[in-house]
C-alpha cells in the first residue's frame, strides 16, 4: 500500500526543483523588444514617411531625422552609390538603405551576418513606402552589403517571394 504523503511530498519537491527552469524557459520565450530604427531622410521626400509607417506597423520604434546632406551620411556609413536610395537608417549596428521590408530587417537582426547592412536600390514600385494605390508592385531585390554584396531576398511588396 502506498503512502500518499510521500507521493505528494515527492511531487512538491520535483515541482519546486523544476520551477527555476520553467521560469527561465518562460523568460527566453518572451520576444525581445525590437531596436530603435533611426531614419535619416531628405526634408522634401514623402515616401520615406511611408516606409517609417511600415516599420512602425511591424513593431519597430522609429525616429526620423531630416538632413539636406544625405550624400555625406551615405558615404560615412559605407553605402555604395549603386545601392543608394532616398533614405538611410541605422538599426542594431547595421545600415538599412532604401525601402527594405520590415521582414528583411527582422531576419537581418536575427541572423546577424557579418555585413554593413541591407539595401533596396532605387525606389521600386510597391515596396514599403512606394505602395501607392493604382500602382502595380514590381519584384525587387534586397542586397546584403559590406566586404561583398549579395542577394538577401527577392520581394513583391513587403513579402519575400
Alpha-carbon span 137 to 127, nearest angstrom: 7
Give, rounded to a whole angstrom, the gap between the first and last alpha carbons of the chain: 64
Residue 31 has pLDDT above 80, yes or no: no
Question: What φ, ψ does residue 153 adopt, rounded to 5°?
Answer: 150, 155
Q: Pseudo-torsion of CA 69, 72, 74, 79, nearest 10°?
A: 150
pLDDT at 3: 53
Tell me if residue 60 falls in helix, strand or coil.
Answer: coil
Tell me the HSE value of 123 on the side-chain side, using a 13 A CA sphere: 15
Model confidence pTM above 0.75: yes
Q: What is the DSSP string of 20-41?
A: HHHHHHHHHHSPPPPPPEEEEE
58-109, pLDDT tens digit by residue?
Answer: 999 999 999 999 999 999 999 999 999 999 999 999 999 999 999 999 999 9
pLDDT at 44: 87
95-151, pLDDT tens digit by residue?
Answer: 999 999 999 999 999 999 999 999 999 999 999 999 999 999 999 999 999 999 999
Amino acid at each position: 500500500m502506498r503512502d500518499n504523503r510521500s507521493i505528494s511530498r515527492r511531487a512538491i519537491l520535483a515541482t519546486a526543483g523544476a520551477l527555476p527552469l520553467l521560469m527561465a524557459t518562460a523568460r527566453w520565450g518572451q520576444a525581445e523588444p525590437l531596436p530603435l530604427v533611426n531614419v535619416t531622410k531628405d526634408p522634401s521626400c514623402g515616401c520615406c514617411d511611408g516606409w517609417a509607417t511600415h516599420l512602425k506597423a511591424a513593431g519597430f520604434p522609429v525616429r526620423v531625422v531630416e538632413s539636406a546632406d544625405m550624400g555625406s551620411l551615405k558615404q560615412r556609413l559605407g553605402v555604395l552609390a549603386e545601392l543608394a536610395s532616398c533614405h538611410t537608417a541605422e538599426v542594431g549596428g547595421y545600415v538599412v538603405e532604401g525601402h527594405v521590408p520590415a521582414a528583411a530587417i527582422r531576419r537581418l537582426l536575427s541572423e546577424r551576418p557579418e555585413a554593413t547592412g541591407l539595401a533596396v536600390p532605387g525606389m521600386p514600385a510597391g515596396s514599403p513606402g512606394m505602395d501607392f494605390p493604382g500602382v502595380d508592385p514590381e519584384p525587387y531585390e534586397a542586397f546584403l552589403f559590406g566586404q561583398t554584396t549579395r542577394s538577401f531576398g527577392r520581394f513583391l511588396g513587403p513579402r519575400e517571394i
